[in-house]
Amino acid sequence: MTKLREPDAESAPSRRDWLGLAVLSIGLGLIVLDGTIVGVALPAIIGDLKLNITDAQWVNSLYAVLLAALLLSTGSLADRWGRKRLFLVGLVVFMGGSLLAAMSATAGALIGARAVQAIGAAFIMPSTLSTVNAVFRGRHRATAFGVWGAVISGAAAIGPLAGGALTQWASWHWIFLVNLPLGALVLIAALFTVRETRGEKTRPGADVDGAMLSAIGFGALVFAVIEGPDLGWWTPKADLVAFGWTWGKDAPISAVPAAFAVAAVALVLFVIWERHREKVQRQALLDLGLFSLSTFSWGNLTAGMVAVGEFALLFVLPLYLVNALGLDVMGAGLLLAGMALGAFVSGAGARYLAARFGAPGVVLIGLGLEVAGALVLTLLVQGDTSGWVIVIPLVFYGLGLGLASAQLTGTVLRDVPVSISGQGSATQSTVRQVGSALGTAFAGAALSVALAVTLPAALSAAGISGPNADSIADSTRLSAGTTITQLRAQGVHSPLGDHTQAAVDALSAGFADATRWALLVAVAFLALGLISAALLRRSSREG
């Protein structure tokens, strides 16, 4: 493979370059889709594999956790070994993980397969963005980033619809099997259309210690948030068993604050170590000098806050639609397709708005729509809300998602030198993945904590109390609402007999109340992203 000469600002991309952009975008869309396609299928997976709410969070979050832990390393590898090469290797690993996931029969097997998928995705993601950053220059770069951003927002939004269709008309296994033929087509097309690019290696060494510290720090952080409700935020509530070692519930404190401490220490040491690598002129995993670029710093903060909000919503909403409202997975997918509709429409037209308001201005407009849509959605969530009422704010949310995603990427990387575009794109992707993992973790934790309060209260208000009511409330919380669906299907033949419908109505109302608390987490982070976007726009003008 020949190394591509970095084009200057005046060179026009060839037809092959545009075809390569399409192939890279589809490859990227495949892994973004896999980050969201699981959500609407999760109730079916929970029921089939007997997952609890913590298992469900890990199925959703481990993918993002490992991406966050590996992206800085793979971004640096892409610059050194060749971005096309790493993209192709990533596709093969990702397809292997997808096959393992489809064959999973236990929670552990599925979570392990998601880990393999994440390793493949970690090779793919920075390779796509850094290739686009290297190949497209000048005015053509804005168009290329617009396509790249629209694919991210569109794939993330269409995931629930695809997951619903495949789960209902085939089985949940097909949400993973579909990656095999699609991945094979992308692999073959990439061989002929994607050019090889590399960064300039100016320093010796490989930053292995930095890779380990970042992986430990990000992994421990998300672990603490996900496991907090079950293990206890301070006082131990249950045993933690890992690799034959047990952190007992008779310990002085829970493992959760210890995990937070490990995360803090590891991430601080990571920053110190990266500064040391820079001082001694050795290859560093992360060029901290990138954060001296105001557009890079504010853009990454905006991307992180938005990812937390977006994935908090995408985790909790399918559970509410299927369990509390009683929709089938296809019905839930159709409702969530309102996001895809809005994202596709706005993502395609974002560059025209950017010509008038500038890319940072479009990001600001998009986030304003996202905040408004999520807030209205939160207010509409009730135990008996019509599903189609939910579509209206989701469309507005999707419009904002498309505008913000399509223009944010190009803004963040606007001032990053092409020679380290792999690091720059990997850093942005890492921030997004940390945000998405924390979004699922925060929403799951908020839902679990709220359910412990709202479900007993709702049952008590319906006149259902006693040990049986406590058992049902606890079962509903641990199953992330799947118990409601089971009771609804059993009808009068359930252990509650003639009181089943009253219990279902009460549990649905309690689940809706808890969902609102989880959605408020999404609204809060989206609002923080809006504030950060305003500062990004100001810094972009000053620059």
Tens digits of residue pLDDT in 68-88: 677 777 777 777 788 888 999
What tokens appear for 339 in the block?
């996001």
Q: Token pair for residue 195?
A: 């050019």
Q: Compute the distance between CA of residue 9 and CA of residue 454 in angstroms, rounded to an integer.
A: 58
Q: Stretch 417-424: mean pLDDT, rounded?
A: 67
Amino acid residing at 457? A
- Look at 43-57, 264-278, 450-464, 493-507 and tell me which has the smallest mean pLDDT: 43-57
- Sequence-separated (6 or more) residues with CB below 8 Å from residue 136: 7, 13, 17, 21, 143, 144, 145
Does 212 score more than 70 pLDDT?
yes
- What's the pTM value of the predicted model, to 2 decimals? 0.75
Local confidence band at 5 (pLDDT 50, 70, 90 cut-offs): very low
pLDDT category of residue 99 using cuts at 50, 70 and 90: very high
Which one is predicted more confidently, 100 or 237? Answer: 100
**75 Cβ contact partners less than 8 Å away, ≥ 6 residues apart:** 126, 130, 422, 423, 424, 425, 426, 427, 429, 430
Read off the DSSP letter of residue 4.
P
Angle at 393 between CA 164 and CA 175, to 5 degrees: 15
SS3 136: coil
Q: What is the arithmetic mean of pLDDT over 371-375?
A: 95
What angle, rounded to 10 degrees, do the helices at 15-49 and 138-169 form? Answer: 30
Range among 266-270, 277-281, 288-292, 325-329 with highest mean pLDDT value: 266-270
Burial of 96 (0-12, 13-18, 19+ CB in 10 A): middle
Find which of 169-173, 394-398, 488-492 is predicted with most confidence, using mean pLDDT: 394-398
User: Residue 15: what pLDDT?
Assistant: 81
pLDDT of 4: 40
- The per-residue pLDDT for 189 is 93
Q: How confident is the model at residue 412 (pLDDT cuts 50, 70, 90)?
A: confident
Pairwise CA distance, residues 65 & 432, whole Å = 11
Residue 527 has what pLDDT?
A: 94
With 80 as the cut, is the pLDDT of residue 105 above it?
yes
Dihedral sign for Cα atoms in the order 318, 320, 321, 323 = positive
- Per-residue DSSP letter, 285: S
Q: Looking at residue 326, what is its pLDDT?
A: 86
Which conformational region is residue 82 in: left (phi greater than 0), alpha (psi within -120 to 50 degrees), or beta? left
Question: How far apart are the C-alpha atoms of 4 and 1, rounded to whole Å?
Answer: 9
Percent of the chain predicted with pLDDT > 70: 88
Residue 273 has pLDDT above 70, yes or no: yes
d(CA 444, CA 318): 12
Q: Please report the pLDDT score of residue 450 as a whole number.
A: 92
Give Cβ neighbours of residue 504 (< 8 Å, ≥ 6 apart).
484, 487, 488
Binned at pLDDT 50, 70 and 90, residue 134 comes out as confident
CATH number for the domain formed by residue range(s) 15-203+284-451+515-542: 1.20.1250.20
pLDDT at residue 433, rounded to an integer: 72
Please name every residue paired with 247 in a beta bridge, in sequence order, or none if there are none. 240
Most confident of 224-228, 248-252, 505-509: 505-509
C-alpha distance across the termini of the chain, in Å: 38
* Predicted local distance difference test score (pLDDT) of residue 202: 60
Alpha-helix runs per DSSP H in 136-241: 138-169, 174-177, 179-193, 208-231
Residue 291 has pLDDT above 90, yes or no: no
121, two tokens: 């995705």
Band of pLDDT at residue 347, cut at 50, 70 and 90: low
For residues 290 and 153, give the distance between their C-alpha atoms in angstroms, rounded to a whole number: 25
User: Residue ranges per domain, the chain?
Assistant: 15-203+284-451+515-542, 204-283, 452-514
Residue listed under structure tokens 């087509």: 185
Question: Is residue 519 over pLDDT 90?
Answer: yes
Give me the residue label for tokens 């832990």: 69
Q: Calculate mean pLDDT across residues 17-34.
A: 83
Cα four-point dihedral sign 19, 20, 24, 25: negative
Confidence of residue 98 (pLDDT cuts 50, 70, 90): very high
Q: Find the angle CA(124)-CA(125)-CA(127) to the nearest 5 degrees.
A: 70
Return the percent helix, strand and coil in the chain, to nearest 5: 80, 0, 20
CA distance 358 to 489: 53
Distance CA 543, CA 537 (A): 10
Mean pLDDT calculated for residue range 56-69: 73
> Residue 419, Cβ neighbours under 10 Å: how many?
16
Length of the chain: 543
Please report the DSSP string for 483-541 in residue order: HHHHHHHHGGGSTTGGGHHHHHHHHHHHHHHHHHHHHHHHHHHHHHHHHHHHHHHHHHH
Position with higher pLDDT, 245 vs 124: 124
> What is the C-alpha separation between 438 and 309, in angstroms, rounded?
9
Among 23-32, 47-56, 514-523, the minimum mean pLDDT is found in 47-56
CA angle 412, 417, 423 (to 5 degrees): 70
pLDDT at site 1? 38
